[in-house]
Structure 1
Amino acid sequence: MSRFPLLLNICLGLLCVTQPVQAQDSLDDFAARVPLKVEGNGPWYRVDLPMSLHFLARHADLRDLRIFNAEGEPLAYALARGESQVTRSEQELELKWFPLRGPADTSLGAPRVRVERSTTGTVVEVLPEDPAASGERLRGWLLDASGMKAPLEKLVIDWSEEGEGFQQFTIEASDDLQSWQSWGTGQIARLSFGNDHIYQREVTLPGHKARYLRLLWLDREAPLLTEARVTGARQESSPAPMVWSDPLPAGSPAAGEYSWDLPLPLPVESLKFSLEQANTLAPVRLQARSNDTAQWQALTSGLLYRLPKDGKEVLHDRLELDGWMPVQHLKMSVDQRAGGFGAKAPTLQVGMRALQLVFLARGTPPYTLAVGKPGAASAELPLTTLVPGYGPGSLAKMGSAQPDGDLRLAEAKAVVVAEEKGSALAWKRIGLWAVLLLGVGLLVLMALSLLKGQSKGG
């Protein structure tokens, strides 16, 4: 019986030898790679990933993407998805102001005035409807903001020295000096005590456009203005950046039908077709599937055209997608009644939301971008983990890195190396499993021999 522990240890040792070891990624494991040229301040660098990299990857989510240093060590990285950008531009405008005089009794409403404007809408003169009212109380001011094209966000005014204390007034806006919209009330203040002074000259506006403002003071005569200006801001949104593939030639499985194949299922968001001939009009329907065995599903439909209009050529060659469906195979049907694309089949460019890779440089450059390892597990970190204190504007402060060459040119050599390494590893595993099975077989034979010996002895 003392032989059983020895045999058991032998088998366990063989089993441990054959267990796959989670080794560190090696550059030779990846089918395509390209060195990177870094610029700017580190240690974090960002890389714009081209569409060719997505085509060479083995997984649509880029789990097989890695960055290596010259020592062959994989580096920490994160992926940043391109988002739409909102830019804000501020504008400040000095205003012209005109006095509004009227009865002291505010219950009679706003002063009735006659306004003279230039052909551009700029106020030239404001006169009371009743000349006899010119000596009455100064009720407020008319401000000409017609030169401001952005929505109004802030009003700054200054007034004569005798206007001490808090002052409240109503704010109204108009584009035609006929109908007025209330924008609430504003308050300004000038307080003095000894050599100390407190000024409140700014009034917040609701952020709407208006050509004219009317300020009417409450419970007191308006002060004499010495300055009036407004600040406006305009926000413009730009779409998220896209990356595009090279033109893909079409297959023609039938008349009026075209097809395209991608190397793997990708979350495509836009399709761009070549319209070679002028006066092209093509109503189209597209179907897609995510692999060779899946059913075709309706993807989108639309009208592609290249037509003259008002002496210019108008081109509509794109169809937008939601990006929710991974697409590998595309099939397009064209309504031939409109003439189709002519004799030459259209090419297709697929577009996706741009991705940036951010990596933490360590070790010796050059750094190498690698992709294309079957069965790889993701090594991506959250961006906030990779860059402590990450926030808006952090990406812009990082250095940049650019591929120093063509990723596709590096593919062929790397594929051979990866296949040779994979083949050698496969033979090693086969040999180890053969040793394990042989050991298990010997263990069974020895156990049977011992059992037979015990039965005979009994």
Structure 2
Amino acid sequence: MKRIKAMVCSLLLAGSSSAFAAESPRDYATGMTLETSSSSPWYRVALPREVYQHSAWPDLRDVRVFNQQGERVPFTLMTKPTPPAVADSVALRLFPLAASPIATTEASAPQTIRLKAANGVEINLEGDEAKSVGQSYLLTLPDSREALLRLTKLQLDWAASNASWQGKASVYASRDLSHWQRVQENAPLMDLSRDGERLKMNTVAAELTLSPKGRRYLLLVLDPQTPMPELKGVMAVAQPQEPLTERIQLPAAVAKATSTEAIWQWDQPQPLSTLSITLMEEGVLPVEIAWRSDAKSEWRPLAKSVLFNVNDQTQAAFPLSANVVEAIRITTVDAHLPQTLPGVTGAREAKVLIFNAQGKGPYMLAWGNKAAENVALSLNQLIPESLPASKNIETLPWAQPLETVKLGGDARLQAVSAGEQQKLWVALAVWAVLIVGVGALLMVAWRIWREARR
């Protein structure tokens, strides 16, 4: 019996020592060396995309920072705030147009107006659009503009005048100067002065996307009765919608595809706030979208929708409310998937890590350990409230991630936690007691049997 007790105790002690051993960088799959260029008791780290993609836990509980001695240093994880939203304003190129009617020989032919710029560009308007054409202007994106511009309004700048006036303006859009689509009709404009006060309405709402390779031309047409002074310039204004927190975009990879269904996966499940699906070619595609939290979970419906890419406009992102998503499935409705599959991207909240620079550098950012538990501190535990740094963390210097280093390897992504290890050792000890006990009973029974045979 003493031997049994001794064996059980040794098993439990071995389990406790392995379960509660101090962490080291080798307990984590991957790391990155951090460069600190200035001396500070605290540093900030903007987590690289690889951390989100290959962390073993969706909540990033397995992220750590180690010093040169391999010791874990105190840290906290914070949601990365979004910088203040700034309206993206672009000065459009402006070309005044001279209007002249085009004579037709047929009485039933629609009325046609030719608009011609000084550089030789010609635009023809027919039908209803040609009936109310006053002073007109061709507007284009500057040649240096390469990015898309999600336009919300046009801001007009005209020459100063002592006379009050008001009128109307319409806006059309085109990609080839031949085919025009009405964007805004009869928007009011005015510039009124009275008793030293001035009322000016110089914006025209126009919600569309301008693109250097798509719709890059706008046509501003004033009502014939609009006595507006000479137009000096036009600003295209796009006001971005400011999210509460900054988000990081994580693309998914195609895992399986047929002509009517495809599955996209992330390397690790992600708590996604939105899901963006982009058709790579122009067109529309009716679909049913589903998601799952892991490979063993059932598919859950997300939306029945129509994906589209028309005139550089696409459907809005699908909200997910930070659900943990491992894969999504897109099934077409009475249609086939395009030859080039849609792009799928999930967005999740971006995090900033702040650590206390204990010990000597260089420091190492490490992640990827299924056995890790959440040891992040609160900000008040890391930086005393009485210090100015706690009030303005934006003043803390950045530590820049450098090259990626392989530490414990991918096996750490399936490691067993300390608590689970302890349970395993306890289970082994119990089984050992049972096996030894059964063996002892068999020995006693065998001895009794031998004595009975004598």
TM class by shorter chain equals: 0.5 to 0.7
For residues 123 and 359 of structure 1, do their structure 2 counterparts lie closer, same or farther at Cα, with a shift above 3 Å needed? same
2:342 — aligned with what? Answer: 346
Output one character per residue of 1:166-196: Cα deviation in whole Å (capped at 9) or x when no partner.
xxxxxxxxxxxxxxxxxxxxxxxxxxxxxxx
Output one character per residue of 1:231-279: Cα deviation in whole Å (capped at 9) or x when no partner.
xxxx996223221224523521x432111122333211222334322x3
Alignment of 1:101-116 (within 5 A): none
Amino acid of the residue matched to residue 14 of structure 2?
Answer: T
* Partner SS for 2:286: strand
1:31 — aligned with what? Answer: 29
Q: For residues 245 and 322 of structure 1, what CA distance do their matches in structure 2 show?
A: 14
* Partner SS for 1:70: coil
Q: For residues 246 and 42 of structure 2, what CA distance do their matches in structure 1 show?
A: 21
1:400 — aligned with what? Answer: 398
User: Does residue 302 of structure 2 align to residue 299 of structure 1?
Assistant: yes
Q: For residues 439 and 257 of structure 1, what CA distance do their matches in structure 2 show?
A: 53
Output one character per residue of 1:287-307: Cα deviation in whole Å (capped at 9) or x when no partner.
011122322111134333222
Unaligned runs of 5+ in 1: 90-115, 127-143, 150-234, 309-313, 453-458
* Partner SS for 2:323: coil
Q: CA deviation at 1:387?
A: 1.9
Between the aligned residues of both structures, percent identity stands at 21
1:113 — aligned with what? Answer: none
Output one character per residue of 1:117-158: Cα deviation in whole Å (capped at 9) or x when no partner.
7446464537xxxxxxxxxxxxxxxxx475899xxxxxxxxx
Aligned length: 301
2:382 — aligned with what? Answer: 386
Q: Is the 8 A contact 1:31 1:414 kept in 2?
A: yes
User: Does residue 37 of structure 2 align to residue 43 of structure 1?
Assistant: no
RMSD: 4.4
1:251 to 251, 256, 271: 256
Q: Is the 8 A contact 2:78 2:351 kept in 1?
A: yes
Q: CA deviation at 1:393?
A: 5.8
Output one character per residue of 1:8-54: Cα deviation in whole Å (capped at 9) or x when no partner.
88457525533423111111011111111224562211112233212
For residues 122 and 39 of structure 1, do their structure 2 counterparts lie closer, same or farther at Cα, with a shift above 3 Å needed? farther
Output one character per residue of 1:389-408: Cα deviation in whole Å (capped at 9) or x when no partner.
288862211111221024xx
Q: For residues 392 and 436 of structure 2, what CA distance do their matches in structure 1 show?
A: 62
2:61 — aligned with what? Answer: 63
Q: CA deviation at 1:283?
A: 2.8
Q: For residues 291 and 345 of structure 2, what CA distance do their matches in structure 1 show?
A: 15
Q: For residues 417 and 341 of structure 1, what CA distance do their matches in structure 2 show?
A: 37
User: Does residue 258 of structure 2 align to residue 260 of structure 1?
Assistant: no
1:190 — aligned with what? Answer: none
Q: For residues 418 and 255 of structure 1, what CA distance do their matches in structure 2 show?
A: 37
Alignment of 1:65-84 (within 5 A): 65-84=63-82
Q: For residues 36 and 305 of structure 2, what CA distance do their matches in structure 1 show?
A: 43
Unaligned runs of 5+ in 2: 88-161, 166-189, 203-238, 448-454
For residues 416 and 325 of structure 1, do their structure 2 counterparts lie closer, same or farther at Cα, with a shift above 3 Å needed? closer
Q: CA deviation at 1:336?
A: 4.2
- How high is the TM-score relative to the length of structure 1? 0.55
Amino acid of the residue matched to residue 346 of structure 2?
Answer: V
Based on CA coordinates, which of the two structures has the bigger radius of gyration? 1
Q: For residues 351 and 262 of structure 1, what CA distance do their matches in structure 2 show?
A: 12
Alignment of 1:302-451 (within 5 A): 302-308=305-311, 314-316=312-314, 319-337=317-335, 341-389=337-385, 394-406=392-404, 410-411=405-406, 414-415=408-409, 437=432, 441=436
Q: CA deviation at 1:377?
A: 1.1
Amino acid of the residue matched to residue 125 of structure 1?
Answer: D
- How high is the TM-score relative to the length of structure 2? 0.55
For residues 123 and 268 of structure 1, do their structure 2 counterparts lie closer, same or farther at Cα, with a shift above 3 Å needed? same
Q: Is the 8 A contact 1:52 1:245 kept in 2?
A: no
Q: For residues 71 and 145 of structure 1, what CA distance do their matches in structure 2 show?
A: 70
* Partner SS for 1:28: helix
Q: Is the 8 A contact 1:280 1:341 kept in 2?
A: no
For residues 352 and 13 of structure 1, do their structure 2 counterparts lie closer, same or farther at Cα, with a shift above 3 Å needed? closer
